[in-house]
Each structure stands twice: as C-alpha cells, then as structure tokens.
C-alpha cells in the first residue's frame, strides 16, 4: 500500500506536535498577558495556541527570509536574493514583489504536502569539511558541527570553510571573542590552521606535482565553496529568466559576510546589503507584542 503525501504529513505532524506543544506552553507560561505568535514554514505568523508540528518544519529558514526581505525593503531594495550562510549549509531564496512558496516538498527524506517558502539549500556552510580526495578538492557535504567545529576552534576539528578565511586574514583574530578551546577562554588558533594547510599543500604537491603554497590551497577551497553557492543562486534566478545583476544580495546568518563580495563578483551583482543584525536574522522564529 502506497502512502499519499497527506498521510506522510499527518504522521510527521502527529510526531512533532506533542513535543512542540510542550515547548510552546513553557515559553507562554513565562510571558503572561502577552500575544505570542510563531513563524510558520510559509513565512506567515500564527497564534501560539495554533502552532503545530507541520508549521515548524522550515520555520527557522522562513523567518530568516522574511527578516532579510523586510530589512532590505526598508533600505530601498525591491529585487532581493537572500543569502543565509550558517554552519552546516547555505540557503538562498528569490524575492520579486512576493514570497515564493511551494506545496510539495521532501525534507530529510520525508514528503510534506504543506506550504513552505521556496528555498534552495546546498551543503556548504562555515563548518563544511575541506579535504583532498587524491584527485580533486572537496567542500562538504560532511560538516564539523559546533563541536569540534573548524580547526581554528581549538577542539581538534578538521579544516572547514571557516579556516581558509582565518588563513588568509579575512577573519581577523583580534575582533573575535576569546571563547574557544576546551575552557572556552582562548582566541581562534591561526597556527594550527597554517600547519594543516601546509600539510595539505604538501600532500597535493606529492600527488599532482604542481607546487601550491598553503595560501593558494586555502584560496582554492574558498573558490570552490563560492562557485557552489553562486550556482545555487543561479538555479533560482538566471535559470528561471531573472537578471540577477539587477538584484541586491542580502547576506545574513553567521558567515554570509565572509563571502559576500566574492559571490557578488561571481554573479555580476552590484549591490550587497548587510544589516547590522545580519547575524541573527535567521533566528527570527517568534514575535510578541
């Protein structure tokens, strides 16, 4: 017997809603006499008492898109590509006068027939692991997570997309808080990053015979990550007939600003918008008033 998509949705909702209901009730109990509303996967808001599991599947990403669009519009932009680069993935969306939604989707292998914002996701975030497979450079899809995290986090992690930016000075250690290491009181570790890229450059040279400096290898990996992200944007814009050079690139999430200029150059985009609170736009989940 083949389950229809509504059956899949019902099963997922029945699993998630009791868990979500306990969380919502806990939040509401600490906010008496407050109108509490939660973001849904389609970008709309719903009363806390009506918020269900099926509404929450992509609500975090939807909140980021709504936040990016609304802040961009306030800055005078109407044609918007949202670019949310976090630790595990990069999520992009297209906005021209209205939010784009889709009804049927597959999320983590499960079919869902519920309205969600149209989002294109690729496995390239700040924690995506970098490696050389013997013939090619690879970026992800495996990721280091927050623990151990990138090599520069001082927890024995592998090289990730974050580390080339440390290597090349795009991430300046002096402006990062000293919250790394086992005790959470040390700055980012550039020395281990240099060491690992030096080893990687030697491995690549021994296999391919072309001498690449550690800095060049780091730059090469950033180039691959940027190309993957640019292709994700092309899929929602150029391949659908939109002239992406007329759009603003609204970068948010924890890592969007690290590659914003490179992404814009790759796509011929002339405007980049970075809101002062860009790092938390993707965390817009609920609203109260």
Q: What is the pLDDT of residues 83-112, one digit of tens each?
A: 988 777 788 899 998 888 887 766 656 677
Name residue, tokens 């659908």.
240
Kindly tell me if the per-residue pLDDT of 281 is higher than 80: no
d(CA 278, CA 289): 22
169: nearest Cα among 124, 123, 214: 214
**Residue 283: pLDDT band with limits 50, 70, 90:** low
What pLDDT was estimated at residue 205? 86
d(CA 86, CA 83): 10
182-186 average pLDDT score: 86
Provide the strand spans (E) within 118-261. 120-122, 128-132, 137-143, 248-252
Report strand pairing: 45-47 vs 137-143: unpaired
What pLDDT was estimated at residue 181? 85
Kindly tell me if the per-residue pLDDT of 59 is higher than 90: no
DSSP, collapsed to helix, strand or coil, labels residue 122 as strand
d(CA 198, CA 277): 36
**Residue 4: pLDDT band with limits 50, 70, 90:** low
What pLDDT was estimated at residue 284? 47
Q: pLDDT, tens digit, for every residue of 109-159?
A: 667 777 788 888 887 778 888 988 888 888 878 888 778 889 999 998 899
Two tokens at 212?
């690449």
What is the CB-side half-sphere exposure of residue 228 using CA atoms within 13 A?
22
Residue 194 vs residue 211, higher pLDDT:
194
Cβ neighbourhood burial of 21 (10 Å; 0-12, 13-18, 19+): middle
Kindly tell me if the per-residue pLDDT of 32 is higher than 80: yes
| DSSP string across 36-103 | EEEE-TTS-EEEGGG--HHHHTTHHHHHHHHHHHHHHHHTT--EEEEEEE-SS-EEEEEEESSB-EEE
What pLDDT was estimated at residue 5? 61
Question: Are 145 and 118 contacting, i.e. CB atoms less than 8 angstroms apart?
Answer: no
- Judged by average pLDDT, the poorest of 38-42, 228-232, 283-287 is 283-287
Two tokens at 277?
């609170």
The model's pTM is: 0.82
What percent of the chain has pLDDT above 90?
A: 27
């Amino acid at each position: 017997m083949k389950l229809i998509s509504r059956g899949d949705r019902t099963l997922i909702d029945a699993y998630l809603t009791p868990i979500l209901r306990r969380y919502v009730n806990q939040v509401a109990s600490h906010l008496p006499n407050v109108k509490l509303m939660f973001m849904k996967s389609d970008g709309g808001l719903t009363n806390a008492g009506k918020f269900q599991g099926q509404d929450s599947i992509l609500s975090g990403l939807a909140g980021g898109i709504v936040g990016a669009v609304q802040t961009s519009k306030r800055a005078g932009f109407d044609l918007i590509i949202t670019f949310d680069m976090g630790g595990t993935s990069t999520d992009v969306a297209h906005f021209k006068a209205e939010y784009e939604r889709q009804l049927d989707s597959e999320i983590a292998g499960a079919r869902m027939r519920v309205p969600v914002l149209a989002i294109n996701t690729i496995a390239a975030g700040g924690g995506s692991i970098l490696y050389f497979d013997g013939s090619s450079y690879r970026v992800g899809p495996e990721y280091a997570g927050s623990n151990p995290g990138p090599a520069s986090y001082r927890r024995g992690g592998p090289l990730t997309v974050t580390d080339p930016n440390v290597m090349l000075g795009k991430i300046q250690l002096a402006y990062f808080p000293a919250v790394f290491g086992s005790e959470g009181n040390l700055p980012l570790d550039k020395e281990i990053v240099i060491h690992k890229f030096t080893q990687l450059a030697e491995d690549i040279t021994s296999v391919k015979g072309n001498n690449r400096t550690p800095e060049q290898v780091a730059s090469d990996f950033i180039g691959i990550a940027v190309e993957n992200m640019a292709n994700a944007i092309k899929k929602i814009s150029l391949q659908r007939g939109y002239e992406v050079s007329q759009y603003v690139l609204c970068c948010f999430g924890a890592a969007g600003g690290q590659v914003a200029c490179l992404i814009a150059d790759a796509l011929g985009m002339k405007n980049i918008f970075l809101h002062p609170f860009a790092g938390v736009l993707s965390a817009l989940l609920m609203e109260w008033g």
